[in-house]
Copies of this chain bind each other. A is one copy, B any other.
Amino acid sequence: MPNRQLVARELAEVFKLLSHPDRVRIIEELASSELDVNGLAELLELPGTRVSQHLAKLKAHRVVEERRDGRHHFYHLKQPDLARWIVDGLTFVEGRLLGVSEGQIATVRELWAGSS
């Protein structure tokens, strides 16, 4: 009865998908508003090509969905709760951030939890 193995494998897939800082930031930005590739690239100060590559991966795994309007490709989270769950994970990160105080982490938590 290898259900637990199958479930662990899928969970690990999701974790792998979230295991890049750019993708974490993309998901957190999309938590509060739908954005196109350029919009994300400017917000995150990353090259558009890179954002596009990350979005392709997120889309392939059905984490984000695409809506096209003219030449713009807008992206949003398929399951907005995902962003909240990630923010919950901050609990397990607090002890690891030496240069960042708990207060600053709380600020990030609020930024990502509410409206940015």
Contacts and interface: CB of A to CB of B under 8 A. Distances in A.
Interface of A: 3-16, 18-25, 28, 61-62, 79, 81-82, 85-86, 88-93, 95-97, 99-100, 104-105, 107-108, 111-112
Given A4-B111, A6-B97, A6-B100, 9 more contacts: A5-B21, A7-B90, A11-B21, A11-B93, A14-B89, A15-B19, A19-B19, A85-B88, A88-B88
21 contacts: A3-B104, A3-B107, A4-B25, A4-B111, A5-B25, A6-B97, A7-B105, A7-B108, A8-B22, A10-B93, A10-B96, A11-B18, A11-B21, A12-B21, A12-B23, A13-B96, A15-B89, A16-B19, A82-B92, A85-B89, A85-B91
Contacts of A79: 91-92
Contacts of A3: 100, 104-105, 107-108
A99 B4 CA distance: 12
B92 A14 contact: yes
Contacts of A25: 4-5, 8
Contacts of A82: 92
